[in-house]
Amino acid sequence: ADFDSKKKRKVAEIYQALNSDPIDVATLRRMAISEGGLLTDEIRCKVWPKLLSVNTDDLPPLPAGKELREDNKDYQQVLLDVRRSLRRFPPGMPDDQREGLQEELIDIILHVLKRNPQLHYYQGYHDIVVTFLLVVGDRLATALVEKLSTHHLRDFMDPTMDNTKHILNYLMPIIDRVNPEVHNFMQSAEVGTIFALSWLITWFGHVLSDFRHVVRLYDFFLACHPLMPIYFAAVIVLYREQEVLDCECDMASVHHLLSQIPQDLPYETLISRAGDLFVQFPPSELTREAAQQQAERTAASTFKDFELASVQQRPDTVLRQRFRERLRGEERTKSTLTKPRTNRLVKLAVMGLTVALGAAALAVVKSALEWAPKFELQIFP
């Protein structure tokens, strides 16, 4: 009963945020991150567009599938992937209903690619699109996926894998900060990070069999910084510390262990852990190690992460741009924000806002360090 009343309270708070003028996106982000996420698909239909700043009053009509499929270079590959996607549909769904959805899935993907010729299809993209299709229906899914593809997923949709590999390079530095023993074991085994590739590029949609867990993670990722999925990947590895250390220290064994993801993970615990790690070790602090993993040095400063979150640009480009203006700004910001023994709560609060607030982060940080610590405690209960 206690859970039910908590749930009712949360639903009321979400609707209040949706009905306020202007819409209270900061609260919606917090609701999406906090325990249970957005609770129902009905709520997701209303909140996901707000988290992605998609205007639902003005959705373009969907084109007819036939024009899209003629002479589309990706059609055959998309068709193959969608045909193989049976297990992404609810068990027990009638065949004709599922086949109808698979046709819609193909159309959404081809539509987004046609409108954005700079985007390249990759295997696994359909796993993300089908999640949106099942939750919000084809028309809204098309608008949300297009926004997502030009922002959060942009790095995966380049002609090469370079930027995706660059994001994977954040995995080991996060693990190292939290648990050097696991990090060193994985380095000795030379396992690399490819085991996490399908997690990252499908936002775990491909590897989790329970749809409820997938949409719960999507609530979380949509409310956060584009690099949050890699923090979540790190948290899964850290959670399995004992299994990893008990494993034979060779590449094949460790890769096999890690690529089989357990289905009974304590998702809520891991989500709040990933949020905490993002706050303690924001991407800007890991850039150097990530870059060393890939012989190119980039550097980033903490305040730039606020801007990154606030405009939700593609993470990698921003890091590359920063490379040019590297040291001066970085040292200045570092000295103000991360002097050893700075009041950790304030630092956590400031960075916690990045996770929770996206666009509002910069304004808030400038004006509100006084109340941030109290707010911080609400973000990560």
Which tens digits make up the pLDDT trace of 152-171? 999 999 998 888 988 999 99
Question: Is the pTM of the predicted complex or chain greater than 0.75?
Answer: yes
Q: Percentage of residues in the chain with pLDDT exceeding 90?
A: 62
Distance CA 86, CA 90 (A): 9
Q: Percentage of residues in the chain with pLDDT exceeding 70?
A: 76
**Is the pLDDT assigned to residue 368 strictly greater than 50?**
no
Distance CA 353, CA 113 (A): 33
**Is the pLDDT assigned to residue 66 strictly greater than 80?**
no
Tokens 């666009």 belong to 359
Which pLDDT belongs to residue 356?
A: 45
- Rounded to the nearest integer, the mean pLDDT of the chain is 81
Q: What would the 3-class secondary structure string for the chain be?
A: CHHHHHHHHHHHHHHHHHHCCCCCHHHHHHHHHCCCCCCCHHHHHHHHHHHCCCCHHHCCCCCCHHHHHCCCCCHHHHHHHHHCCHHHCCCCCCHHHHHHHHHHHHHHHHHHHHHCCCCCCCCCHHHHHHHHHHHHCHHHHHHHHHHHHHCCCHHHHCCCCHHHHHHHCCHHHHHHHHCHHHHHHHHHHCCCCHHHHHHHHCCCCCCCCCHHHHHHHHHHHHCCCCCHHHHHHHHHHHHCHHHHHHCCCCHHHHHHHHHCCCCCCCHHHHHHHHHHHHHHCCHHHHHHHHHHHCCCCCCCCHHHHHHHHHHCCCHHHHHHHHHHCHHHHHHHHHHHHCCCCCCHHHHHHHHHHHHHHHHHHHHHHHHCCCCHHHHHHHHCC
What's the pLDDT band for 284 if we cut at 50, 70, 90? confident
What average pLDDT does range 225-247 have in this prediction?
96
Distance CA 113, CA 118 (A): 8
Which pLDDT belongs to residue 84?
A: 87
Which pLDDT belongs to residue 325?
A: 52
CA distances to 84, 276, 307, 350, 360 from 357, rounded to whole Å, are 37, 15, 11, 10, 5
What's the pLDDT band for 62 if we cut at 50, 70, 90? confident
In one-letter notation, the amino acid at residue 368 is: A
Which pLDDT belongs to residue 131?
A: 97
Which pLDDT belongs to residue 289?
A: 84
Which pLDDT belongs to residue 315?
A: 52
Which tens digits make up the pLDDT trace of 303-357? 344 444 444 445 555 555 554 455 445 444 444 444 333 444 444 444 444 444 4
Which pLDDT belongs to residue 374?
A: 34
Which pLDDT belongs to residue 277?
A: 94
Distance CA 278, CA 355 (A): 8
Domains of the chain listed by start with CATH number: 1-152 (1.10.8.1310), 161-291 (1.10.472.80)
In one-letter notation, the amino acid at residue 355 is: V
What's the pLDDT band for 65 if we cut at 50, 70, 90? low
205 near 131, Cβ under 8 Å?
yes
Which pLDDT belongs to residue 71?
A: 74
Which pLDDT belongs to residue 87?
A: 87
What average pLDDT does range 215-225 have in this prediction?
96
Residues in the chain, how many? Answer: 381
Which tens digits make up the pLDDT trace of 116-145? 999 999 999 999 999 999 999 999 999 999
Which has more pLDDT, 322 or 73? 73
Distance CA 196, CA 124 (A): 13
Which has more pLDDT, 120 or 376? 120
Distance CA 132, CA 146 (A): 11
